Structure 1
Amino acid sequence: MSGYHLAEINIATLKAPIDAPETAEFVANLDRINALAESQPGFVWRLTGEGNDATDLQAFDNPLTILNMSVWTDTDSLAAFVYRTAHREVMRRRTEWFEKMELYTCQWWVPVGHQPTPEEGIAALETLRRLGPSPAAFTFKNPFPAPDVAVRPQPILDECA
């Protein structure tokens, strides 16, 4: 068992203010999707502000840029939630509510029990932007194992067999 959990941040810049009619369907889904996340195997923690979500936290100069952060036991648990639950359907509608962004999410490992701050998440995004995927910040496409997990080399297959 690892002494680390997987932290993730995702950010988005709204096309309209959070209380505008254009974002109403997104806002209407927040409680349902957050409750779904909390019920998933591997869920550990999620960032909240004054309400049941983090939309009121102002971590960026642009007031329309919002963030979400959570911690999971491992990559597979997060991936199962993101891609194999109702979250996927909401995520597919992203372009209805948010501006297109080149980089809007990343993951990194934190010690078990640590609740990352928005500043840590933003720093991880910047690390990913500057360096590309690395053990310090990565994506589902290029994951890295927890620092205390030994990676076993893949066997080399005999092409003549």
Structure 2
Amino acid sequence: MKHLAEINIARFKHDADDPRVAPFMNALDKINGIADRSNGFQWRYTDETGNATDTLVMDDPRVLVNVSTWATVEDLETFVWGTIHKQFYQRRADWFNVLDSMHFAMWWVEPGTQPSVAEAMDRLAHLDTHGNTDHAFGWSHLPQATRWRSAQCSNIAAE
């Protein structure tokens, strides 16, 4: 059975060391720790910070990237919408700008796969250009995914 990979990017409204984004930055280890211990969690990209906060994406130091893999759609859904992560999602407009392009994509991978940030960014660009395909897709492409509908996903900012 294939696993689910995801990429999520977000652009801070302020520099990462700005007090206005401190609530997000101060909770990052906790949120990632919850993900790491969640049912079905397989892997997440980290850099030397233990997160991915020093990884330069889109030549913009304010852009954060998250790439992870999960055993099932339901496992990712439970983490995103069924843990404290949801509270941070609901506050995303406090910390992040609205992007002009897609900021979240998923795709199927073989178990044990650890996608590179470059591959994940390519998947995101593919979704932005082509919409939902088997190569890259959003929640609406997955009939078994239902929680996102009630979570008011929108273009406010990063998921």
2:124 maps to amino acid = L
Corresponding position of 2:25: 27
- Structure 2 stretches lacking a partner, 5+ long: 145-159
| Preserved contact between residue 135 and residue 144 of structure 1 (Cα < 8 Å) | no
CA distance in 2, matches of 1:110, 1:116: 9
Shift of 1:59: 2.2
Identity rate of aligned residues, in percent?
37
Local SS of the residue matching 1:141: helix
Corresponding position of 2:126: 127
CA distance in 2, matches of 1:40, 1:114: 18
Corresponding position of 1:149: none
Shift of 1:37: 0.5
CA distance in 2, matches of 1:52, 1:31: 8
- Normalization by structure 2: what TM-score? 0.86
Corresponding position of 1:110: 109
2:84 maps to amino acid = A
Corresponding position of 1:85: 83
Shift of 1:120: 0.7
CA distance in 1, matches of 2:60, 2:121: 14
2:104 maps to amino acid = T
- Normalization by structure 1: what TM-score? 0.85
Local SS of the residue matching 2:124: helix
Corresponding position of 2:93: 95
* CA RMSD across the alignment: 1.4
Where is the helix percentage greater, Structure 1 or Structure 2? 2
1:49 maps to amino acid = D
Report runs of 4+ in structure 1 exceeding 2 Å deviation: none
| Preserved contact between residue 138 and residue 144 of structure 1 (Cα < 8 Å) | no
**Structure of greater Rg:** 1
